[in-house]
Structures are given as structure tokens and as C-alpha cells.
């Protein structure tokens, strides 16, 4: 990690390093996997990233991660009903994927612990950069998760829901998915848990997705952790030739949350869409960081983030679009809009463009503002009281992004979750 030598380890750093020593014998993996784990813990020994590390500028993990809970949770989490009706559910409960594997035509599902033991996933365990603290943490400790392979040409009728549920303690989970050429799928990544008394949770979750030629995937991340959870997540994807990936991220919980999105377009005609909403309340810190690499010509991407900040919440959005030298005809647009609803809330945004090709159309826009008084007036002039009017406007602001997903079932299910959040936090 590109981290400065730290004079002294923090409690959290020490706890992680000690835990690694204790857990090592319990962690699955062949020689190759173990080498990766050792490298990863070495990176952590150099210290967790501080705000001096550019990609962690607004989330000083070293300062914010004050304590690390013990590994074992006292309560065992239970699988939840899926977000989308009829989904095949693959649960990881307290870091373990011990449920019965469902049979889906054209889909191969394996437990990740098996893939770690036989070493076949070792090459994918490397962190993506020197400042990839989440990748390093996960590689060091990952014990389970799923490997899902959707065969070429398979069009899934029903969605798959990957659930990572945690009730206190630590869990380090990896969800690997390959979507074959021409295949179509809707996949939900559910990140949730129950607050168990006296035990905070530390979760690292890395999802890796590969889209082969012409594959189409809608991936929904629904994060509703309790406010005792530190949730460090990463979504990494490669979008192949003519493949389409729509990623939706909803952050509506957690105490300290960092969701990284690392996407690379690897084939001409690839298209990536990111739609995200951050619903921030209480005294929480939520960071969404995206790094998007356009590496080949003729690829497109659009990213829209909508954030609502209430209470003492702090929100961060960092989005970087890298257009490589040969990625001519790239078309990339990014927008990040924030409604800051309380004086104690904060939102920081850093939308970056790094462009090395000359025939491209790239743009980004970012706004931070309060509710438009004209809009409020319009509604109140029609006899709607202020509180309701505000609620309507805020909901419309975020719901707009959901509606863009263009699938009735998904839109209804996500709006229901949105309503749920507004009921408790509105």
C-alpha cells in the first residue's frame, strides 16, 4: 500500500495483524493462496490508509477504524426474503456459505472455500493497486463466499440474490461471478445484518464480475447494514466486447461504509452504467469511490449518483474516469447530485477525469444544494404541508435514478426499500 510508514500502529491495525496470526491455520487455501494472504497482511502492516493517500482523502481509515471486533459473532444470522420475488438465494451467514446450493439451469454454483482450497481463484486475489486497502484486507482474511458461473447463452428467468448477512463479529467474503457470452442475468448483492448487542461488525466484501462478449447484466447492490457495522466493500468488473453492465448501488445503512466500484471496459462496444443512491442519516460515514477505466476504443459509460444527507452524516463520492491513450471514441459522462438537508451533515465530492486520448466526449457534473424553494412553494401552494412536500421532493430526487432501471419489478422492489428508509428516517 502506498502508505506512509506509520510511527505507531493503531489499536485496529494491531488487532488485525494479531487476528491474522490466530486465524491463519483456519483459513482455507493452497500454497498460492497463502502467499497472496501473506503479501496482503504485509500491506496492512505498513498501516491503514490515511487522508494523505489520495484515494482515501475523505475517508481516513486509519483514524475512523477505531476498533476491530472479535471474529466470532454470538448470534447466527438468518437468510432474508429476497428483494426481488422469486429470486434464487445464495446466503453467506456470518461469513460462511453453508446453505444448500440451489440448482439453476445453465448456472454452476460453488462455495468459495472450495475454490480457495484448490487454489483456482488465487490469481484473482491480488489487490488492484497499492492503495487498495479493502482488497488487501479481504485477501488476507477471506474464508468463504460463492463462485457463480453462468454458461454462454443462458438467459436467466429468475434473478439470483447473493446475501452477505452478518450479526456482529468479522466476516470477509468474496463473490465471484462469470457471465458467459450472450448470457443475461439480474443479480442482487444484498449486504445486511442484525445489530447484536455489544458486538460491532466488520465486514469486507469483494465482488468480482466478468462479462464475456455480448453478456448483459443488471447488478443491484442493496446495502442496509445496522449502524454498528463497518462495511468495506468492493465491486470489480470487466466488461467485454459489446457487453452491457448496469450497476445499481443503494447505501442505506452502516456506521462506516466504503463501497468501491472498479470497472474496466475491455472490449469494443462495452457499455457501463452506474446508478447510485446514498441515503445518509445519523452519525455515519459513507464513501462511494469509483474508478472506471476505458481501455479500448468505442466504449461508453454513464454514472449518476444521488445523495441525501441528513443528521450528522458525512458522505463522500469520488469518481475517476481514466480514458487510456488508445481508447478513442470513448463517451463517458458522470453526474453526482447531493441534497444536503441538515446543517450538521457534510458531503464531499471529487469527480476526476484523466484523459489520454484526443477523440473522446467526456464530462462530469456535480452539485450540492438544498431543496429548491420554488419546488417547495409549488407544492405548498397546492395545500400540501411543508413536511410532506419536502418528503415528496426528496423522494422524487432519488427515485428518478431508480426509475431509470427500466424494469418494473426492480423499480417497485427498490422503491419499496426507499419508502422503508423514509419511514424510519423521514
SS3 19: helix
DSSP states along 273-337: EEEEEEEE-SS-EEEEEEEEEE-SSS-EEEEEEEEEE-TT-EEEEEEEEEE-TT-TT-EEEEEEE
In this structure, what C-alpha cell is assigned to residue 96?
Answer: 460462511
Q: Which of 217, 360, 389, 398 binds other proteins (CB under 8 A)?
A: 360
Residue 183 touching other proteins (CB under 8 A): no
CA dihedral 207, 136, 346, 312 (to 10 degrees): 90
Closest approach, Cβ 367 to other proteins, in A, equals 5
Closest approach, Cβ 30 to other proteins, in A, equals 39
Q: d(Cα 426, Cα 423) in Å, to the nearest integer?
A: 6
In this structure, what C-alpha cell is assigned to residue 198?
Answer: 455489544
Contact 318, 289 (CB under 8 A): yes
Residue 365 touching other proteins (CB under 8 A): yes
Residue 386: exposed, middle, or buried by beta-carbon count in 10 A (0-12, 13-18, 19+)? exposed
Closest approach, Cβ 355 to other proteins, in A, equals 5
Q: Is the Cβ of residue 14 or residue 367 nearer to other proteins in the bound state?
A: 367
Q: Which stretch binds other proteins (CB under 8 A): 72-80, 228-236, 262-270, 360-368?
A: 360-368
Residue 276 touching other proteins (CB under 8 A): no
Residue 370 touching other proteins (CB under 8 A): yes
Q: Is the Cβ of residue 187 or residue 281 nearer to other proteins in the bound state?
A: 281
Helix (H) or strand (E) holding 412: helix 408-425
Q: Is the Cβ of residue 199 or residue 348 nearer to other proteins in the bound state?
A: 348
Residue count of the chain, please give it: 426
Residue 275: exposed, middle, or buried by beta-carbon count in 10 A (0-12, 13-18, 19+)? buried
Angle in degrees, CA 82, 86, 91, rounded to 5: 40
Mention every residue, 6+ apart, whose C-beta is less than 8 A from residue 329: 297, 298, 359, 360
**Which residue has 466478468 as its cell numbers?**
210
Q: Which of 17, 362, 384, 411 binds other proteins (CB under 8 A)?
A: 362
Annotate each residue in 316-355 with x if it binds other proteins (CB under 8 A) or - if it does not, as one string. ---------x--x---------x-xxxx-xxxxxxxxxxx
Closest approach, Cβ 6 to other proteins, in A, equals 16
Q: Which of 105, 358, 406, 408 binds other proteins (CB under 8 A)?
A: 358
Residue 283 touching other proteins (CB under 8 A): no
Closest approach, Cβ 305 to other proteins, in A, equals 13
Residue 420 touching other proteins (CB under 8 A): no
Q: Is the Cβ of residue 51 or residue 417 nearer to other proteins in the bound state?
A: 51
Dihedral sign computed on CA atoms, order 125, 128, 131, 134: negative
Residue 60 touching other proteins (CB under 8 A): no
Binding-site size for other proteins (CB under 8 A) equals: 35
Q: Which of 359, 374, 406, 408 binds other proteins (CB under 8 A)?
A: 359
Closest approach, Cβ 337 to other proteins, in A, equals 10
Q: Which stretch binds other proteins (CB under 8 A): 159-167, 203-211, 368-376, 399-407?
A: 368-376
Dihedral sign computed on CA atoms, order 353, 232, 145, 275: negative
Residue 312 touching other proteins (CB under 8 A): no
Residue 63 touching other proteins (CB under 8 A): no
Closest approach, Cβ 284 to other proteins, in A, equals 16
Q: d(Cα 81, Cα 348) in Å, to the nearest integer?
A: 35
Closest approach, Cβ 188 to other proteins, in A, equals 31
> Which residues of this chain interact with other proteins, rule CB under 8 A?
54, 57, 325, 328, 338, 340-343, 345-370
Amino acid at each position: 500500500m502506498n502508505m506512509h510508514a506509520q510511527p505507531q500502529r493503531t489499536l485496529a491495525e494491531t488487532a488485525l495483524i494479531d487476528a491474522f496470526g490466530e486465524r491463519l491455520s483456519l483459513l482455507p487455501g493452497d500454497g498460492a493462496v497463502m502467499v497472496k494472504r501473506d503479501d496482503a497482511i504485509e500491506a496492512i502492516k505498513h498501516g491503514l490508509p490515511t487522508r494523505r493517500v489520495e484515494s482515501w482523502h475523505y475517508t481516513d481509515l486509519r483514524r475512523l477504524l477505531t476498533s476491530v471486533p472479535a471474529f466470532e459473532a454470538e448470534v447466527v444470522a438468518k437468510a432474508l426474503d429476497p428483494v426481488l420475488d422469486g429470486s434464487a438465494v445464495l446466503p453467506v451467514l456470518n461469513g460462511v456459505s453453508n446453505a444448500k446450493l440451489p440448482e439453476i439451469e445453465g448456472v454452476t454454483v460453488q462455495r468459495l472455500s472450495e475454490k480457495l482450497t484448490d487454489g483456482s481463484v488465487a490469481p484473482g486475489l491480488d489487490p488492484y493497486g497499492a492503495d487498495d486497502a479493502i482488497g488487501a484486507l479481504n485477501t488476507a482474511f477471506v474464508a468463504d463466499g460463492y463462485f457463480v458461473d453462468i454458461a454462454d447463452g443462458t438467459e436467466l428467468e429468475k434473478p439470483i440474490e447473493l446475501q452477505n448477512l452478518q450479526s456482529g463479529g468479522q466476516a470477509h467474503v468474496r463473490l465471484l461471478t462469470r457471465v458467459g457470452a450472450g448470457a443475461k442475468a439480474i443479480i442482487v448483492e444484498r449486504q445486511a445484518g442484525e445489530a447484536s448487542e455489544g458486538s460491532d461488525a466488520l465486514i469486507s466484501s469483494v465482488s468480482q464480475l466478468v462479462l464475456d462478449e455480448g453478456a448483459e447484466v443488471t447488478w443491484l447492490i442493496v446495502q442496509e447494514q445496522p449502524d454498528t457495522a463497518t462495511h468495506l466493500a468492493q465491486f470489480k468488473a470487466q466488461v467485454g466486447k459489446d457487453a452491457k453492465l448496469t450497476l445499481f448501488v443503494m447505501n442505506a445503512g452502516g456506521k462506516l461504509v466504503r463501497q468501491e466500484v472498479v470497472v474496466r471496459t475491455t472490449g469494443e462496444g462495452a457499455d457501463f452504467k452506474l446508478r447510485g443512491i446514498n441515503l445518509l442519516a445519523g452519525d455515519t460515514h459513507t464513501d462511494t469511490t469509483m474508478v472506471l477505466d476505458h481501455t479500448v476504443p468505442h466504449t461508453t459509460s454513464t454514472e449518476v449518483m444521488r445523495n441525501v444527507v441528513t443528521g450528522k452524516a458525512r458522505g463522500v463520492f469520488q469518481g475517476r474516469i481514466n480514458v487510456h491513450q488508445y481508447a478513442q471514441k470513448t463517451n463517458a459522462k458522470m453526474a453526482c447530485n447531493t441534497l444536503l438537508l441538515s446543517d450538521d451533515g457534510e458531503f464531499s465530492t471529487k469527480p476526476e477525469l484523466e484523459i489520454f486520448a484526443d477523440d473522446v466526449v467526456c464530462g462530469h457534473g456535480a452539485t450540492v444544494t438544498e431543496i429548491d424553494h420554488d419546488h417547495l412553494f409549488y407544492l405548498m401552494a397546492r395545500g400540501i404541508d411543508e413536511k410532506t412536500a419536502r418528503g415528496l421532493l426528496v423522494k422524487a430526487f432519488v427515485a428518478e435514478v431508480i426509475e431509470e432501471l427500466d424494469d418494473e419489478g426492480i423499480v417497485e422492489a427498490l422503491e419499496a426499500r426507499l419508502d422503508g428508509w423514509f419511514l424510519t428516517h423521514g
